Amino acid sequence: MEMLADILTIILPAVAVLITAVLITGKMVKNEKARRDKELTLEAVRTVLPIRLQAYERIVLFLERISMESLLMRSNTTPMSAQKLHGTLLNTIRSEYEHNLSQQLYISADAWEVVRSARSNMVKIINGVAKELPKTATSMDLGKNLLEEIMSMDREPTKAAIDHLKQEAASLF
């Protein structure tokens, strides 16, 4: 019996030390994992944030380039028919859009939908105004009517989309 008591006096403290060591080590490993996860998240934010901001920047540039005034300034450089200008405007919008398609990876789905809607509305405006003109109309006629149409609106679709993107980009900070 005395031998059992001696063995227990040796084993019980050893078991207590072992349990304490396991608990402390487990807590340390858990804290270290949480610290590494936090570092990885912070590093991802440092890497992704500039890319996302560049995407917002490029999409705002796209919207500025397809705004009516900008489109007409860049497309209506030589005298041409209204039909030719109509086709040029639509091709310019399509080309600009295709050039910026990959940016949807870096902006929210909501923002991308706003961009797509602005593009579609610009195409609808151009098509609607062009359809109302006679076949003999010049590019100057189409340009004038497009600018009048845009001025009659509360806000040009591209400007509304740019405002939305600015708000969303500001929320990244």
Position 133 in a domain? yes
Among residues 70, 61, 157, 64, the alpha carbon closest in space to that of 103 is found at 61
Question: For 79, left (φ over 0), alpha (ψ -120 to 50), or beta?
Answer: beta
Tokens found for residue 69: 């005034």
- pLDDT tens, 52-109? 999 999 999 999 999 999 999 998 777 889 999 999 999 999 999 999 999 999 999 9
Is 25 part of any domain?
no
Residue 14 above 90 pLDDT?
no
Domain, as residue range, for 138: 51-170
Residue 72: closest CA among 59, 85, 91: 85
pLDDT at 111 over 90: yes
- 146 occurs within a structural domain: yes
Residue 4 tokens read as: 């059992």
Please tell me the predicted confidence (pLDDT) of residue 155.
Answer: 93
Dihedrals φ, ψ of 122, to 5°? -65, -40
pLDDT above 90 as % of the chain: 76
Region class of 149: left (phi > 0), else alpha (psi between -120 and 50), else beta: alpha
Q: Is the pLDDT of residue 7 over 90?
A: no
Determine the Cα angle at 103 with ends 99 and 108, to 5°: 145
140 in a structural domain: yes
- Using an 8 Å Cβ cutoff, are 142 and 130 in contact? yes
User: pTM here?
Assistant: 0.76
Angle, to 10 degrees, between the axis of helix 82-99 and the axis of helix 68-75? 110
Q: Is residue 163 a part of any domain in this protein?
A: yes
How far lies 145's CA from each of 24, 129, 137, in Å?
Answer: 77, 7, 11
H/E/C letters for each residue in 14-58?
Answer: HHHHHHHHHHHHHHHHHHHHHHHHHHHHHHHHHHHHHHHHHHHHH
Q: Which amino acid, residue 119?
A: R
Residue 15 within any structural domain of the chain: no
Number of domains in the chain: 1
Residue 33 located in a structural domain: no
The answer to whether position 32 is within a domain reads no
